[in-house]
Amino acid sequence: MRSSWTAPSEDYEARFCAFAHDLILSDEAASFRRGLSAFLARLRPIANANSLLQLVVRLSAPGVPDLYQGCEFEDLSLVDPDNRRPVDFAARAKALAEGTEAKQTMIARVLAVRRDDPELWVWGDYQPLAADAHVLAFSRSRGQSRLIVVALCRLEESAGSLALDRSYRELLTEKDFPAGRTWLKDLLGARTAAILYARRHG
């Protein structure tokens, strides 16, 4: 509102930067920083859950997932060019081997299945599944392969259940679920999303 690329106000931008600098570093703003830190601590688990939920949907919905190299870890960048830093590949290789980053592990497991069964992900249909009001659920099928995605849109336990037509492996935990009715609380645990995958050969 006060400055733009085409009509920059250097005086306003200088005063704005000085204000931000004082909020971050000055003794006078210490109480503000304590309040902000407490607020962010409350938001963090919600933000992390929503981030992983969005990632599950992005990786499994029809289309090509938009993956930005270097953003495999928790990423607090704003917009370009803030997210164009050099990528620490050594740190990512180490975390991938140790499985210490939930977001990166999720990406790796889903992309591995996409690579091994490309027809399901490229040509698989999309069918919404009936679920509780705050649960997003859909399936994708191609030939004998099928996946079911369940995403909890609110951080609360779901009392709903899911009827499985066959045995599935949950990609994020690598846990097997037999055919039959499965309670969502057992499928999700403390997480907000799950991807069930089954592939029949022959």
Domain count, the chain: 1
On whether residue 68 sits in a domain, the answer given is no
DSSP-derived 3-state class of residue 38:
helix
Tell the residue number behind the tokens 């609360």, with chain if given: 156
On whether residue 56 sits in a domain, the answer given is yes
Q: Are strands 161-164 and 168-170 parallel, antiparallel or unpaired?
A: unpaired
Does the pLDDT of residue 16 top 80, yes or no?
Answer: yes
On whether residue 20 sits in a domain, the answer given is yes
On whether residue 46 sits in a domain, the answer given is yes
On whether residue 122 sits in a domain, the answer given is no
Residue 22 belongs to domain spanning:
10-60
On whether residue 40 sits in a domain, the answer given is yes
Does the pLDDT of residue 34 top 90, yes or no?
Answer: yes
Higher-pLDDT residue of 11, 135:
11
Residue 157 CA neighbour count, 13 Å, CB half: 6
On whether residue 87 sits in a domain, the answer given is no
CA distances from 53 to 48, 150, 155, 161 (A): 9, 9, 11, 19
On whether residue 15 sits in a domain, the answer given is yes
Residue type, 89: F
CA distances from 187 to 19, 37, 180 (A): 48, 33, 13
Report pTM.
Answer: 0.77
160 close to 131: Cβ distance less than 8 angstroms? yes
Kindly report the backbone phi and psi dihedral angles of residue 66, in degrees, each rounded to the nearest multiple of 5, phi listed first.
-85, 100
How does pLDDT run across 64-110, given as a tens digit for each residue?
888 888 888 888 777 766 667 788 999 999 999 998 998 999 899 99
